[in-house]
Structure 1
Amino acid sequence: MPEPYIDPTCTALLVIDMQKGFCDPESQMEKAGIGTENQRAILPAVLRLVELARERGLPVLWSQQIHYPEDVTRRRRRIPSHIDKQHWAPCLRGTWEVDFVDEVAGAIRPEDLIVEKHRASVFFETTLDTKLRMLGIEQIIISGCNTDFCVETTIRDGYYRDMDLIVVRDCVAGPRRRFHEDTLAKVETYFGAVVTLEELPNVIMPRVQAQEGALAEARP
C-alpha cells in the first residue's frame, strides 16, 4: 500500500458536470444514442466520495456545463464542432438539462462552490483557478463526467497549472468505455494518479500529520 500523499490541508474535491443532460435517460444525449447509463452508474460512488471529502475537511467544488443556443462562435468554424459532429447539444441554457441530477442537487451545501462553464475544461475562462489559489489548493481530487472530454480536458489544464491531480477511477464515467480507459491510462502515465474510492482514504494523510509537516517545512 502506498504511503499517504494527499495533503488534506491543500486538497479540494472537484465534481464535474453531474447534470441531467449527461445522466438522465430522457436527455438529448440518450436520445442521440450516445448513452447515459455509465454516468448514472457512478452516482452512488460520487456521493460517497463527497461524504468522504466532507469528513476529511476538504472543500467541495461542482462544475455546471451550460451551452448557449445562440452561441455564434461555433458557426465560424470550417470544421464541425464536437456538438455538430454528434448532432446533439446537451445542457442548453434555459432547459432542465443544465440542472444537477436530483441526488447531486440534494448533496450540495451552501458553502460549496459551483463553477459555471461554457467549454469542456472547468478552468477555461472561469473563476476556478482563482478560487483554488485563494483556498491554497495544490491538489485536486477529480470525479464526474464525461471521462474522455470534460474530465480529461480539465485534468490537462490542471496539470499545466502545476496542480497534483488524483482521479478516482470508479467516480468518473463516460459513454464510451474504450475512451474512458484511455483517459485513465494517460492520467497514470502523464498527468497524475488514479485510485479507487476504496483506496482513497488510505492515501489521504491524517490532518494532524499534514499540519505538522507544513510546520516543519516552514521552520528555518
Structure 2
Amino acid sequence: MADKVKVIGGMENFWLYSEAAGYDITHPPTPDSPKVYPRLSVQTKEDSVILDPTKTALVIVDLQNYFLSPALGRPADSAGLQVVEKLKTVVIPACRKAGITILWLEWGLTQKDIDKMPPTLVKGFAQDSNFEADRKIPGLGVKIGPVKLGDGTIIEAGKALMQDEWNSNTYEPLATLFEPSDLRIYKNRLSGFWGGTQVEQALKSRGIRTLILAGCNTDQCVASSLIDAMSKSWDCLMLSDACATTSPKFAKDMVEYNMGGWGFLLTCENLADGIGTLKTSPTDESDE
C-alpha cells in the first residue's frame, strides 16, 4: 500500500508529509505537482525534512566584531567563537556546495534609527556586561574609542553598531568568506524581520521560502528573527550548535524546546550530511 501523503497548510503555502519521507517543504505549485528538483533531505531532531536548496537561505545573525572580538574585550573563549568555527568549517562550505543563498543579517544603525530607538533597547544594550577586564561600551551609537587588534594595530572602533564602522563589521575571521552573490541586510531591532528592514523584499525577490538560522544570541536576536519570519510564512530551521548566547543555559534550552512549534531543529552535521543527498533531477533518484 502506497504511503499516504498529507497536505499540511493551505493552498497558497503548504508542506507535504508522509511517514516514509517526512516533511516535504520544497513548495511545488500544487500538492499534485511532480517532485521539485533540486532537492535534498536533512534529518532534524524529530523529523526528516526535504527542501529545495534554491529556495533556501542560510541566515547568519549578528556575528559582528561588536559581539565577538576579543579586541573589544569580548571573552576569547566565548561560545560565539565556537559558532564561527562551525560556520567556517562545516556550514558555509556545505551551503555553497548546494547553492543555498547566504544572508548576513546584522546590526547597522543610522542616526535616524538612533533617534527612533525604543528606550527598552537602549537600556538593554547599556547593561551589557559580557566583557573581560575593564572594557565597557556605553550604549548604541556611542563612540567606543581605540582598540588594539591581534597584530598590535590600534584603530578606532567607531560608534557602537552604526553602519560602516569597524565594530559593526562582520567578525573578521568570517568576513573573508563573504561572496558577491551573498546578501547583507542591516537591521535596527533585535529581529531582522520586524518590518523595518529590506530583508523580506530581498528574500522574496530570490524566491526564498525556507530559512536556516545561525548566529547569536540564540534567545534574543536569533529567536526574535525566527519567530517573526515564521509568522510571515517562511519555513524556519535552526542549527542548534551554530547558535550561541551569553544567557544562562535554560534560555537556549527554551528556544530549542519551542522549535517543535516554530519549525525544525538540527545540527551542523545534520545539514552537511543532508547536502550529500542532493538530487538535481529524477535521474539521480533512479540511479540509487
Distance 1:98 1:208, change over 3 A: same
Q: Which digits, 9 at most, give the CA deviation of each residue in 1:182-204, with x for residues without a partner? A: 2121223x211110111113445
After TM superposition, give the deviation of residue 78 of structure 1 in Å.
Answer: 8.3
Greater relative contact order: 1 or 2 (C-alpha under 8 angstroms, separation 6 or more)? Answer: 1
Could you say which structure has the higher helix fraction? 1
Could you say which structure has the higher strand fraction? 2
Distance 1:64 1:77, change over 3 A: closer
Larger Rg: 2
Q: Residue 63 of structure 1 corresponds to which residue in structure 2?
A: 105
What SS does the corresponding residue of 1:64 show, helix, strand or coil? strand
Moved more, 64-73 or 157-166: 64-73
Tell whether the 8 Å contact from 1:3 to 1:203 is kept in structure 2 after alignment. no
CA distance in 1, matches of 2:110, 2:209: 32
Moved more, 102-111 or 91-100: 91-100
Tell whether the 8 Å contact from 1:4 to 1:203 is kept in structure 2 after alignment. no
Aligned residues: 207
1:17 to 2:62 alignment = yes
1:73 to 111, 116, 121: 116
Moved more, 83-92 or 143-152: 83-92
1:40 to 60, 65, 81: 81
Q: What TM-score does the superposition give when structure 2 sets the normalisation length? A: 0.63
Q: Give the % identical residues.
A: 21
Distance 1:115 1:36, change over 3 A: farther
Gaps of 5+ in 1: 214-220
What SS does the corresponding residue of 2:253 show, helix, strand or coil? helix
What SS does the corresponding residue of 2:93 show, helix, strand or coil? helix
After TM superposition, give the deviation of residue 72 of structure 1 in Å.
Answer: 2.9
CA distance in 2, matches of 1:46, 1:82: 28
Q: What TM-score does the superposition give when structure 1 sets the normalisation length? A: 0.81
Listed as ranges, the matches of 1:106-145 within 5 Å are: 106-124=176-194, 125-145=196-216
RMSD over aligned CA atoms reads 2.9
1:151 to 2:222 alignment = yes
Please tell me the residue identity of whatever aligns with 1:38: A
Distance 1:211 1:62, change over 3 A: farther
Distance 1:68 1:44, change over 3 A: same
Q: Which digits, 9 at most, give the CA deviation of each residue in 1:43-93, with x for residues without a partner? A: 11012211110000111110121245782334x748974224446445244
Runs ≥4 residues deviating over 3 A: 1-4, 67-70, 76-81, 84-90, 92-95, 201-205, 209-213
